[in-house]
Amino acid sequence: MTTATAGGADSAPPADKRPGTGAGAGGRPRGGVTGTRRTVAVAFLLPALVLLGALVVYPIVYSVYRSFLDQSGTSFAGLDNYRELFTDDTIRTAVKNNAIWVVVAPTVATVLGLIFAVLTERIRWGTAFKLIVFMPMAISMLAAGIIFRLVYEQAPERGVANAVAVGVHDTFAESSGFPKAHPLPVHPLKAGGGGSFVTKEPVRAGTPVNLPLVGVVPAKMPGDAEPAKAATASGDGISGTAWLDFTKGGGGKPNVVDPKELGLKGLTVEAVKDGKVVASAEAGADGVFALPATADGALLRLPAENFREPYNGVDWLGPSLVTPGIIGSYVWMWAGFAMVLIAAGLAGLPRELLEAARVDGANEWQVFRRITVPMLAPVLAVVLVTLMINVLKIFDLVFIIAPGSSQDDANVLALQLYRTSFGTDADLGVGSAIAVLLLLLVIPVMFFNVRRIRKEGRR
């Protein structure tokens, strides 16, 4: 009689009941389970693959195909559309501006994000500051474009940027008191060149001089200006009156000081002999001025400084500054994005390395440059590459902020794609070629990003 022992052959389960062999649960073969899983996986992936093909692959293939056809889409144009990308001045400007965008905007936004992240790491209100800097990210490109179109308004009373510029300028350089003031033909003054005015005849001691002007807006008159007074003779010197020869409501006479007319307080009067200034004076609140005896026989000159146009700020949306101005609005929006990502990377740095460097005698700048920045290199690369891809397709800000007169100077490829494809003289062949060019510009950046991600994953 044979007895089964533990672990012996008699205790082993049949081959078809062992795990991994024979039939599975319910008597189905293992191969059937694998096939079912594949079918389910394909069923789930199929809608995504269909959408990917319909919304990404097909448009790319058709755009490449359409870029080789003419404007009507009926004839083969070869490389003519691509040749136009590098011969048309408007498209070349767009390519140049895109290069400026790719180099400047991501770099500035990343650098500012790094600075903000490092400086706010230790301050008490760092979280509140980061929240404020990040808030523009919640604004759409359309809203940001409208905001900065108002910020860059030329008129200082409406544009914030020029209001600041004018305020700073006028703090250090006094503006003219009487811009656009000028004499009438019947007045005893004539143009003296360079924006100045001079008397038609030399002045003589004992004979009061009248220097009437018009063209001063009443609202621009000095607040403490008084009714003008006719000057009286002052011995050997020269006396006179400079006033606004305009009577509200009419009734005044030219070259005559009328009771309702105001003196031009602060107007500078110079006595010129042989091209040299021998004396000068300023008109009082009532317009009366007095010159010494050396002014006898001289011509009186009202220098151009009296009539200089007021400083109206910078032409932010002009041809030369429109692209930097729009880049500034982009940086305002995306510096917060860079700051948040960099701050997250900064929070993960090993503090013992930083403290060890400080103990070894490194100052804060050396710690930042030699330890913090190299250790943040992967995060900085993510931010930089993301922003580069983003600016390659920038459209909204340029379209909204740049006025019609400067839109060609601020042009970028995405905007040119829209204008070429859907403008009044639409050419889908050239538009498709621009789209292909944009795709070719994005591919190297995406390739670098994918390669970096794989490299990080292998670590």
pLDDT of the residue at 433: 92
The encoded tokens of residue 176 equal: 């003219």
pLDDT of the residue at 334: 95
On the question of pLDDT at 222 being above 90, the answer is no
Q: What is the mean pLDDT of residues 298-308?
A: 89
Three-class HEC string of the chain: CCCCCCCCHHHCCCHHHCCCCCECHHHCEHHHHHHHHHHHHHHHHHHHHHHHHHHHHHHHHHHHHHCCECCCCCCECCCHHHHHHCCCHHHHHHHHHHHHHHHHHHHHHHHHHHHHHHHCCCCCCHHHHHHHHHHHHHCCHHHHHHHHHHHCCCCCCCCHHHHHHHHHHHHHCCCCCCCCCECCCCCCEEEEECCEEEECCCCCCCCCEEEEEECCCHHHCCCCCCECCCCCCCCCCEEEEEEECCCCCCCCCCCCCCCCCEECCCCEEEEEECCEEEEEEECCCCCEEEECHHHCCCEEEECHHHCCCCCCCCCCCCCCCHHHHHHHHHHHHHHHHHHHHHHHHHHCCCHHHHHHHHHCCCCHHHHHHHHHHHHCHHHHHHHHHHHHHHHHCCCHHHHHHCCCCCCCCCCCHHHHHHHHHHCCCCCHHHHHHHHHHHHHHHHHHHHHHHHHHHHHHCC
Q: Give the pLDDT confidence of 61-90 residue by residue, as tens digits.
A: 999 999 999 888 888 988 888 998 888 898
Nearest to 411 by CA among 91, 84, 94, 102: 94
pLDDT of the residue at 54: 92
Q: How far apart are CA 419 and CA 96, in angstroms?
A: 17
pLDDT of the residue at 15: 47
Q: What is the mean pLDDT of residues 130-140?
A: 90
pLDDT of the residue at 241: 92
Q: How many CB atoms lie under 10 A from the CB of residue 37?
A: 10
Greater pLDDT, 126 or 295: 295
pLDDT of the residue at 21: 47
**Per-residue confidence at 399, pLDDT binned at 50, 70, 90?**
very high
Chain centroid to CA 396: 13
**Per-residue confidence at 232, pLDDT binned at 50, 70, 90?**
confident
The encoded tokens of residue 416 equal: 């040119």
Contacts of 88 (CB under 8 A, 6+ apart): none
pLDDT of the residue at 108: 96
On the question of pLDDT at 342 being above 80, the answer is yes
On the question of pLDDT at 19 being above 60, the answer is no
Q: What is the mean pLDDT of residues 92-101?
A: 93
Q: How far apart are CA 300 and CA 271, in angstroms?
A: 5
pLDDT of the residue at 7: 43
Q: How far apart are CA 267 and CA 240, in angstroms?
A: 12
Nearest to 287 by CA among 414, 181, 151, 359: 181
In whole angstroms, how large is the CA radius of gyration of the chain?
39
Q: What is the mean pLDDT of residues 190-200?
A: 90
pLDDT of the residue at 175: 63
On the question of pLDDT at 6 being above 50, the answer is no
**Per-residue confidence at 447, pLDDT binned at 50, 70, 90?**
confident
pLDDT of the residue at 176: 65
pLDDT of the residue at 459: 66
Lowest-pLDDT range, 57-71, 117-131, 330-344, 374-388?
117-131
Q: How far apart are CA 392 and CA 50, in angstroms?
A: 27
Greater pLDDT, 56 or 456: 56
* Percent of the chain residues topping a pLDDT of 90: 41
Q: CB–CB of 94/398 below 8 Å? A: no
Q: Across the chain, what does the average pLDDT equal?
A: 85
Q: Which residue has the tokens 């000159």?
A: 301
Q: How far apart are CA 65 and CA 49, in angstroms?
A: 22
